[in-house]
Structure 1
Amino acid sequence: MRTDSATRAAAAFAAAGLLAAGCTAQSGEPEAAEESVPHGYVEGAEETAEAQWRLVMADPGGGLHMLDPATEEVAPAGEAPGAEHAATDGRFAYIGGDAGTAVFDSGTWTVDHGDHVHYYKAEARTVGEVGGGAGAWAAGDTAVTVLGGGDRLRALDRAALEDGKVEEKAAPAGEAALAYAGHLVTADRSGDVAVLDRDGEPAGAGVGEDCPDPRGQAVTRRGAVLGCSDGALLLTEGDGEDPGIAAEKIPYPDGAGAGPARGLYHRPGAPVLAGPADGGVWVLDVGAAEWTLLDTGPALAASAAGEDMPVLVLGEDGALRSYDPATGEQTAETELIGDPGGDGPPPAVAIDTARAYVNDPEGKAVHEIDYNDDLRTARTFELDFAPALMVETGW
């Protein structure tokens, strides 16, 4: 393994400060009224001062592996025979194919209370399996995780997953879905958008907009987004007088010369999204409700780091490039993967608050990239297997 160690002490210090400042009892409360259970306590988990990132990978034979970038240790994580796709809701990894999807608890996750954040780690374990091919993508919150990609959507009970069981709460119709604002929002291929409760039953009025041929979904701090063939559907929570879900269509610019994005990828929570398309990479600034087309050439994968931060694009030539999402200007480039082709799934670009990770199946490696330092390769984790699939958990 080649390493170029980079300290994360500043991030740890900041996170510790948030924990100390955000989780103390409010002033003026009597000591007798303090909770006997510490704020943020989760049974069976250890609270930490910083995010606990993990990389869950699958080799071509279906073996699962988990890499801890902090310790550089790789551990076996179970089996997923016939794995063709991988997804995560931040804690659980869903890896599988048409025959079924293995559910793996990485044991790391984040709870965001808005004004402060809790980071946790627990024992990693295999949870079970979901049938029917669902699991090509995941969209979840603290109550449910919706899986899609097979013949139907599947909403899994998050509390049951945390207890080590796979329990289905609902199986709504649709091609895409979001767990948002206490509801499930689904879109079918014809474009009809439905607002459902957690059990998959109709809940309140619709959103008044359509989303034809849905492709991709994301939840950001500025609202939730469904990708559509004609643009994006931005969903936001209503105010006190109108507590429903409001919808705004963000169409692609006229005459852009590119097809729709094939998916939406971003640093978890960040309100800038990127999606490869025929003709380049689309970038959606959710806050500005505006699309920008990056002239990147054919792209294998892309993801956005956030507002005023770079968009990373892995080209078919194996080079990783960064772009300014506002201007579309290329800002850095590094030759990363020697032979990114092959019959397997394309590599992934996973971005967290400090680093990006790109799996290199042909090179049997994962590259850790400092995207704020001209795409410097901070470390290369050399493996004894080909990481054909990869997701990052801990968010």
Structure 2
Amino acid sequence: MMKPSLQPSPIHRRTLAFPAAVAASVLVLSACGAAPGMDAGPVAGTPSDTAGSSPAGEGGRAKESRAPVPRLVLTHSDGVSVLDAKTLAPVAEVPLEGFTRVNQAGDGRHVLISSGDAFHVFDSGVWTERHGDHGHSYAGVPQLTGRAFDASEAGHVVSHAERTALFNDGSGKVEIFDPATLPDALRTGLPATTAYTAPEAHHGVAVTLEGGQLLVTLGDDGGRTGLALLSAPAGEDGQERAELLRNEDCPGVHGEAVAGKGTVVVGCEDGMLVYRDGAFTKVASPDPYGRMGNQAGSPASPVILGDYKVDREAVLERPTRISLVNTATGALQLVDLGTSYSFRSLGRGPAGEALVLGTDGVLHVVDPETGVEIRSLPVVPAWEEPEIWQDPRPALFVQGSMAYVTEPAGSKIHAVDLTSGRVVKSGELRHVPNELTGVSG
């Protein structure tokens, strides 16, 4: 397969040119769809002079709220839906063509929408400005900002160590920016970036570390083999990096997660590769092929939750076991839940609990240290994972002590209080939900 050529452009400042149908109606709000306490505003969607600070609302300004206003962002076949995370009431509908994915931008306000040739910057319309020992929170109308990072097969987005890294699968290029600068930068374009391009394009991932170092996957269009540690950027253009360390004992490297205060892991087809304290360590699977390609980490735990698949030839394996890897000790536990799950089923609770949404419709809560299931919470009807990975299936997203679970079969969403173990809210959706993320406001 011929790899796309990379045009040198250290900083992209792109204004989106959406299809006519989308540009004509980027955002439509109805009075019944406004979040409680927020009046429905006018149609918004084109960038303005206030795009970096106050999205258009009533009178063109956002309103101050008494506390942060968290929101949820869901994708569907017709675009993006925004919900109030506390009430599950609809806030906005944003038409957008094609299959899209959503990623947190890292600032608690913006979401990056991946659509193949770009990472589109979406403003959720909620944020908090800190002033010493207190903050002022605001809520306005969500909108596409009209800004985007150009991409060649937009891939993984990872926020870590106060930086956000965007990986281009089609070129191997990584762009990195400070998410704290995003709101102000959007007034005129995009934030300044540093860039690195892998020697070969591949489906990869990059993670920034404290001090500006970078972990990046190794691979090409024939396969992926491991990780490299790169130095902080140097040189006159601030783009040069030197390779400090590498490990190529991770066939099929995929995904990433962070445990505790800075341990980074990626999954392999025969285990998990751990970067900790300046060194790589391999945690091997007990099976020759034991893939841990999807992971979920927690700052409250040294243990990484991962999936576990053992059939290399399966078109779609429906595993019932999960993996728990202690990054401090290297210990691995395999736990059989008695139900299968999907790559959108993994999450972590506020105290580091391992959360798995099973195809039995139950949210399984597992102690990551012992592997013992400590709670099972029925949430949705039983479901079956579709063979096509882009197709909707129940998705799990955790924000604070609340777990949100989508129910595509019924076009619903449910909020589960992880403290009480109860479903405390359920909401009807206008569309069949696919991917799910959120912002803290």
Q: TM-score, normalised by structure 2?
A: 0.65
Provide closer, same or farther for how the CA distance between residues 251 and 391 of structure 1 changes in structure 2, counting only shifts above 3 A.
Answer: same
Shift of 1:155: 1.5
> 2:335 corresponds to which residue?
294
* Residue 340 (structure 1) shift: 4.9
CA distance in 2, matches of 1:252, 1:316: 27
Whether the 8 Å CA contact 1:292–1:326 is kept in 2: the answer is no
1:357 to 391, 404, 417: 404
Q: Pairwise mapping of residues 321-360 of structure 1 onto structure 2 (< 5 A)?
A: 321-330=364-373, 331-342=375-386, 343=388, 344-360=391-407
Q: Is the Cα contact below 8 Å between 1:266 and 1:305 reproduced in 2?
A: no
Does 2:414 match 1:384?
A: no
2:348 is equivalent to residue 304 of structure 1: yes
* TM alignment of 1:1-395, pairs within 5 A: 52-61=69-78, 63-76=79-92, 78-90=94-106, 91=108, 92-108=110-126, 121=138, 123=140, 124-127=142-145, 128-132=147-151, 134-141=153-160, 144-148=163-167, 150-151=169-170, 152-157=172-177, 158=179, 161-162=182-183, 163-164=185-186, 165-166=189-190, 168-173=193-198, 175-181=204-210, 182-188=212-218, 189-198=224-233, 199-203=238-242, 206-207=244-245, 209-210=247-248, 212=250, 213-229=252-268, 230-236=271-277, 246-253=278-285, 255=286, 259-266=290-297, 271-278=302-309, 279=319, 280-296=321-337, 297-300=339-342, 301-305=345-349, 307=351, 309-330=352-373, 331-342=375-386, 343=388, 344-374=391-421, 376-394=422-440
In the alignment of these two chains, the number of paired residues is 338
SS at match of 2:225: coil
CA distance in 1, matches of 2:240, 2:135: 32
Which blocks of at least 5 consecutive residues in structure 1 are unaligned? Answer: 1-41, 237-245
Distance (Å, rounded) in 1 between the aligned partners of 2:280 and 2:215: 14
Whether the 8 Å CA contact 1:83–1:97 is kept in 2: the answer is: yes
155 and 370 in structure 1: CA distance in 2 versus 1, 3 angstrom threshold = same
Q: Secondary structure at the match of 1:87?
A: strand
Change (3 A) 1:190 1:282: same
Call closer, same or farther: CA 1:105–1:133 in 2, change over 3 Å. Answer: farther
Could you tell me which amino acid in structure 2 is paired with residue 321 of structure 1? H
Instruction: State the alpha-carbon separation in 2 of the partners of residues 386 and 87 from structure 1.
Output: 19
| Coordinate RMSD, CA, aligned | 3.6
Q: Aligned to 1:262, what secondary structure does the other structure show?
A: coil
Question: What amino acid does structure 2 have at the position aligned with 1:147?
Answer: L
Cα 1:386–1:233 change in 2 (3 A) is same
Counterpart contact for 1:54–1:392, Cα < 8 Å: yes
2: CA distance, partners of 1:219 / 1:126: 29
Maintained 8 Å contact 2:379/2:423: no
Question: 2:66 & 2:328 partners in 1: Cα distance?
Answer: 29
Change in CA separation of 1:118 and 1:348 when aligned onto 2, cut-off 3 Å: farther
Note the alpha carbon deviations across 1:359-393, whole angstroms, 9 max, x for none: 2222111111122334x211111112222111122
- 1:221-262 deviation per Cα after TM superposition (whole angstroms, max 9, x unaligned): 4213131313132334xxxxxxxxx12415135x25872222
CA contact (8 A) 1:256 1:293 kept: no
The question of whether the paired residues in 1 share the 8 Å contact of 2:272 and 2:283 is answered with yes
* CA 291–172 in structure 1, closer or farther in 2 if over 3 Å, else same: farther
- CA positional deviation for 1:311: 1.6
Change in Cα spacing, 1:286 to 1:58, as seen in structure 2 (3 Å) is same
Distance 1:304 1:117 in 2: 28
In 2, distance between residues paired with 1:379 and 1:103?
Answer: 29
Asked whether the 8 Å contact 1:273–1:304 carries over to 2, the reply is: no
Letter in structure 1 aligned against 2:92: P
Cα contact 2:408–2:433 (8 A) shared by 1? yes
8 Å Cα contact 2:258-2:297 kept in structure 1: no
Alpha-carbon distance in 2 for matches of 1:303, 1:320: 10
| Matched AA of 1:59 | H
Question: Structure 1 CA distance, aligned partners of 2:261 and 2:292?
Answer: 20
